[in-house]
Amino acid sequence: MISMIQFSDVLAWIHQLLSSCMAPWLVFLIELVVASVAAVVALLVCVIIMVYMERKVAGHMQLRHGPNRVGWHGVCQLFADIIKLLLKECFTPTRADKLLFVVAPVLSLCVSLLALAPISWGPGLVLWNTNIGVLFVTAISSMGVIGILMAGWSSNNKYALMGAMRSGAQIVSYELSAGLSIVAIVALAGTLNTGGIIESQANGWWILKGHLPAFFAFIIYIIASTAECNRAPFDLAEAESELTAGYHTEYSGMQFGIFYLNEYINMGVVSMVASTLFLGGWQPFYLPFDFGWAHAFNDIMALKFMETWPAWISWVSLAWPLVWFFGKLFLIIFFMMWFRWTFPRLRIDQLLKLEWKYLLPLSIVNLVIIALIVVLGLHF
Amino acid sequence: MGSASLIALLIIAIAMAVIMIYIGKIFGISSTNPQKGEPYECGIETKGLTWVQFNIGYYLFALLFLVFDVEIVFLFPWATVVRELGMVAFIEILLFTGFLFIGLLYAYKKKALSWM
């Protein structure tokens, strides 16, 4: 029987190949740069798909076509937009706080890309395999609000300031219930390492294994993370009918483009975390039951039938975890787009009421129930 | 890769942002006139200062957030060891969240949770 090829084997092989002809520090540097650039490029490709998907989903939900002029079915629309943004002037208002105005978009981008480090893309495919993975993502993504407040305040524009203050209140509030849902899953998995959390779901995703509380935690996390990304129905920060464009009203050209990019990177990171915690990351679907066809189904899902196939075919199975990872990623993103065209925008008092009077108490109670499940060993 | 990847990502992020803005600076057409530097408030001239004292409602929520966020920071180490500790961990979390829940109820009673 030929064993399946794993990413760790491929990575070890590349490492050996490089080590045979180069100094160790050079090997380390090359691997570091290539891996980081690969992760960022993968995310940027996801962002391109997300923007196209957003426009098409929005179009079809409103019974129109969406972009369909530039290229085949409008696939080149985004590139046309990028070129347009590059040709626009990056303008700083005369009365703005010049330094903070320029730093704000750069800071936002830094923060959202740093959250990428502990994300596990596939078995062994992780930039920073750390034991504080999920905590790090929570900590670093909560710093995004600083960039938004900076942008809003330094613009010296009332719309921008109001948008930034709303966004600040919203992001810090919803961070609480997002954090509590994350803690609930960490309690079930017993580790903060993203790879460890995913491996703990090899015999069923937490959303299935953790009974109803885990499902509630998932729903709370999705609501809270939609709010953290400033997406509709929680897009008070850039409510275009009242605040023109919110905190990035005064931004133009590529500085605006960075905020736009940032919004989609945040969506991507949030969805990656959601799929890591609740939907098993790169693990294929697994039925946590003990009867005949469930076993057969799980064997097919784990590609057991490929083990007897010739070696070169099992290379294809390398892509299998990635298919699941990106599939879940885009599924969650599709849900977030669906919310946008389903729910009307909330008012600020409704928004804070939803978080503080409903979601926060609910997620605390939910966490206690999950603790009980863990202690009594009721999960599978 | 280890934590060095954080530095790599940081450098990539800064380089990306700087290059994108710089390309805009090179290819962008720039013009100046006194009206252009004014804040954009939908055509009406801006009245008064923007950097003034802001609604205290946001401040109250920021204070409340601080309390509960520190709570979550304490919960992370608890969550990693809850399996080994067993029933003790459950009683602990019951007391801990119970006290904070009383705090939340107090804030609710004082109407700190409703927008003013």
DSSP A341: T
SS3 A242: helix
Within-domain flag for B114? no
With an 8 Å Cβ cutoff, are A371 and B82 in contact? yes
Percent of residues, chain A, with pLDDT higher than 70: 98
CB atoms within 10 A of CB A202: 12
Q: What per-residue string of b and e applies to A251-273 under the rule 16 or more CB within 10 Å gives b?
A: bbbbbbbbbbbbbbbbbbbbbbb
Q: Closest chain A residue to B36 measured between Cα atoms?
A: A93
Q: In which domain, by residue range, is B38 found?
A: 4-109
Pick B8's closest partner by Cβ from A36, A257, A374. Answer: A36
Question: How far, in Å, CA of B22 to CA of A102, rounded?
Answer: 12
**H helix and E strand count, chain A:** 17, 2
Chain A interface disruption, residue of B46, B93, B100, most A CBs within 10 A: B93
A188 HSE (CA, 13 A, CB side): 34
Q: What is the pLDDT of residue A1?
A: 33
Structurally, chain A folds into a number of domains equal to: 1
Within-domain flag for A37? no
**H helix and E strand count, chain B:** 3, 0
Give, for A69, the enclosing helix (H) or strand (E). Answer: none
ipTM over 0.90: no
With an 8 Å Cβ cutoff, are A159 and B46 in contact? no
Q: Closest chain B residue to A363 measured between Cα atoms?
A: B97
- How close does chain B come to A129, measured CA to CA in Å? 7
Looking up residue B49, the CATH number of its domain turns out to be 1.20.58.1610
Pick A249's closest partner by Cβ from B29, B40, B78. Answer: B40
With an 8 Å Cβ cutoff, are B58 and A368 in contact? no
Q: Closest chain B residue to A131 measured between Cα atoms?
A: B80
- How close does chain B come to A67, measured CA to CA in Å? 25
> pLDDT tens digits for A128-173?
888 888 999 988 888 888 888 898 888 888 888 888 888 888 888 8
Q: With cut-offs at 50, 70 and 90, classify the pLDDT of residue A2.
A: very low
Q: What is the pLDDT of residue A334?
A: 92
Question: How far, in Å, CA of A169 to CA of A348, rounded?
Answer: 9
- How close does chain B come to A306, measured CA to CA in Å? 31
- How close does chain B come to A86, measured CA to CA in Å? 5
Structurally, chain B folds into a number of domains equal to: 1
Question: Helix A253-277 to helix A24-61 angle, to the nearest 10 degrees?
Answer: 100
If we measure between CA atoms, which residue out of A62, A35, A231 comes closest to residue A120?
Answer: A35
Q: In which domain, by residue range, is A178 found?
A: 91-376
> pLDDT tens digits for B66-104?
888 888 888 888 888 888 888 888 888 889 888 888 888
Percent of residues, chain A, with pLDDT higher than 90: 12
Q: Tell me what the pLDDT averaged over chain B comes to.
A: 83
Least confident of A76-80, A92-96, B100-104: A92-96
Q: Tell me what the pLDDT averaged over chain A comes to.
A: 85
- Is the pLDDT assigned to residue A34 strictly greater than 60? yes
Within-domain flag for B98? yes
Within-domain flag for B94? yes
